[in-house]
Amino acid sequence: MSATRAATPPTRHAAVDPVRPGRSLPTLVRHLAVATGVALLVLTVSYQLDSFRNYQLATVAAYLCATAGLTVLTGLCGQLSLGHGALMATGAYSLALAQNAFAERGLTAGGWLAVSLVVAVLATVVVGAVVGVAAARLRGPYLAGLTLAVAVVVPALTVTFDGVFNGEQGLAVPVAPAPAALGSYFPHERWQLWVAAAASLICLVLLANLVRSRYGRSFRAVRDDEVAARLAGIHVARTQVVAFVVSAASAGLGGALLAVLAQSVSPGAFGLTLSLFLLMAVVIGGLGRIAGAAWGAILLVALPDLTHSLTNLFTLSPAAAQRLEGNLPLAIFGSTLIAVMIVAPGGVQGLLSRLARAMRARWPVGRS
């Protein structure tokens, strides 16, 4: 009897242990299934929209990379960043330099765009690692001050070294047209949407799996209590650097995609205002939720149209209209942020989650 009892526990563990490594597989499969469904939806919708709407949707995909990365850094790891606009500028200028270098050598095929995107991400990773190492030593307003300095310095460098970055005029970004197999009259904006959506979905799948992994749990532990995380054996500084590098890579990809869409890059497009808009968009969408980053990206693209429409409601002089249109986005963003924090502190995605839970509690599925 004793031998049988002694042999029983290993049998139970042997039956349970092999299941544990496989628990992450359904999560990956689920993320890939969602990404495939979204890709098919984008493919279908792109044929129903006009060129301008396709371009807007592609811009949402580009911003989504940056907002998702900022969500991981600020929402999950608890590090405030006011310099993600500068990281997007790093990715955009890196892609522009790579594309121009390829064009000078006659390498204009569409496949080289993927190489340029990888170069842009790697260059931003290097910058993010340098800033992340410094940021890991700072807290509170000092961390905000560091990232704010990055947001100011990086665009200024493009003006200082005008021999490389062409100053305020910026750089042109040569982009190959859509593949000939799609037809000679295939809309370029639709091809841009496909490229931006594919890159954005790959970024989101990687981030979603990272959040569900032990690195994501370490991010949350550091955010909640650094002392407790350190006592649990988590290297706090290393975790914060990893979070900053991941977020920088996402921002660099988003900036590179914006450069592809605009086919040009200039320092004025990546000023301090962009960094503030990114942070506010993440908070409004739902801080700490990847899905909330999507709402923030949509708001970033919808805001210029809303501003232009509101400006046209008033009869103003051209100078006054220009000043109003320049300051109105910040006012709208600020007002929206205040309203969301009062009505839904968890952001738009948090509000939707609360409504979904309330509906499931009121009308339970599969219960009599």
Query: What is the share, in percent, of the chain residues with pLDDT greater than 70?
Result: 86
Evaluate if pTM is beyond 0.75. yes
CB 46 within 8 A of CB 208: no
- Tens digit of each residue's pLDDT (9 = 90 or more) over 130-154: 999 988 888 878 888 888 898 888 8
User: What tokens appear for 356 in the block?
Assistant: 């979904």
Q: Measured between alpha carbons, how far is 287 from 282 in angstroms, rounded to an integer?
A: 6
pLDDT of residue 22: 44
- Tens digit of each residue's pLDDT (9 = 90 or more) over 285-329: 888 888 889 999 998 898 877 776 766 666 666 776 666 666 677
Beta bridge partners of 171: 265
- Tens digit of each residue's pLDDT (9 = 90 or more) over 159-181: 888 888 888 888 999 888 888 88
Q: Distance between the two ends of the chain, CA-based, in angstroms? A: 46
pLDDT of residue 367: 52
